[in-house]
Amino acid sequence: MADFCVYPGALHGQLPAPPSKSAAHRALICAALADGNSVVAPLASSEDMAATTGVLRSMGTEIDFTADGSAKITSGCRPQDKMVLLDCRESGSTLRFLLPVACALGLTATIAGRGRLPERPLGPLMRALKAHGISFSGEKMPFIVRGRLTPGRYELPGDVSSQFVSGLLFALPLLDEASEIVLTSPLQSAGYVDMTLAALGTSGITVEPTENGWKIPGGQHYRPGDRAVEADWSNAAFWLCAGAAGGEVRLTGLSSVSTQGDRAIVEILKRFGADISADAHAIQCKAAKLRGIRIDAGPIPDLIPVLAVTAAFAEGETEIYNAARLRIKESDRLTSVTALLRGLGGTVEEFPDRLVIHGGKLHGGIVDGMNDHRIVMSAAVAALGCEAPVIIRDAGAIAKSYPDFFDDFQKLGGGCDVVQLGEKL
């Protein structure tokens, strides 16, 4: 993968926020489970989107893409009369959302993945599926799944991955009788489950909240139709943090009433002291004197890498706590963030479930992208405030979620080049 050299500077200008990858996964799955024609738009190209569309096609869905970035779905998922390969690539969402759906359809399938995905937690979901009629050929990918899911009571921890819950919420309405999801520990990243529930509601699916979970009536049918994919607060956060650290960035298209948990970036940046404002058309963030704060990582794990960079530019100390789950992402993000900031001259203390970041100057240098899209993009934001250029190794990891990131970076006036280590900066 390519290495990028990113130069110190400030970003200025306006961008449309990219379409939400999280919302797109959900819209595509709901459309694929419906009986009838649907259009999902807008969609941004990424490896994770390719993983989900590829698996849906393997499950019988007919999907055609148009030049304007829309997906037309004319035939949905259906039982197959032969073993199928469901290649989830490196997408945790694809795996955890569609494994339960495959089980509900009674598919016999080989489940495959690559990169760090086979190492990421799946055990709690597999145990819940095993208790309801499903068998697995092994505990680690690739494995073969057989059987047809049965209705009943599904117990899941809420503090490992909210994607386990979302996967069952997609699958259980397809069963003949009612089922119940019961959380055995408090739910983390509840915003992502809220996104799933909103997508289900748009598709005509009924889910009833209970004291510690949800009841899902059986025998339901997904409703076809056009589905609009909202703009992405997760990827918008990189530009807002870049504005806070030393520029002025304006983003259009973001919904202030979105169910996306990562819209919390606005309030967090305000707590840092950022100059952030919004009108009916856009949200804007400008450079300001930042001060250290405390951040609960539980509801917003995907924001933590770029918030850690923001903390490095803030005066004083920032503590990021309740963060143990970051160790089971595309990389061990507590260690990756620590290595990133220390590699640029920052001061970070790493603990099992938290980081303490001491604000100060960042010098520049060479950092490893860790094959993690959010680490690469966070490193680019960090480079803006460094005293010297930053080389990001394996920066191509952005293809997982935001392949146009460096193009948009340059549109805002950022300086970056593809380089080979050994070239003069």
Cα angle 76, 41, 200 (rounded to 5 degrees) comes to 55
Q: Residue 12: in which H helix or E strand, if any?
A: strand 12-16
Catalytically annotated residues? 302
Residue 425, pLDDT score: 47
Question: Could you tell me the two tokens for 340?
Answer: 């990133």
At 1 the pLDDT is: 61
Rounded to whole angstroms, the Cα distance separating 261 from 283 reads 17
Q: Give all domains of the chain, ordered by start, each with its CATH number.
A: 3-18+231-419 (3.65.10.10), 21-225 (3.65.10.10)
- The answer to whether the pTM exceeds 0.85 is yes
Q: What's 415's DSSP letter?
A: -
Of 226, 233, 270, 228, residue with least CA distance to 251: 233
Q: What is the pLDDT of residue 371?
A: 94
Residue type, 73: I
Are 320 and 297 in contact by the 8 Å Cβ rule? The answer is: yes
| Edge-to-edge order in the sheet of strand 226-228 | 62-65, 71-75, 38-41, 226-228
Cis bond upstream, residue 118 (ω within 30): no
Low-confidence ranges of the chain (pLDDT < 70): 1, 421-425
Tell me the C-alpha distance between 246 and 248, whole Å.
Answer: 7
Reported as type and span, the H/E element at residue 248 is strand 248-252
- Integer Cα distance of 170 and 125 in angstroms: 14
The whole-number pLDDT of residue 407 equals: 98
Q: What angle do CA 61, 62, 65 make, to 5 degrees?
A: 125
Check: CB of residue 337 under 8 Å from CB of residue 305: yes
Check residue 424 and give its pLDDT: 47
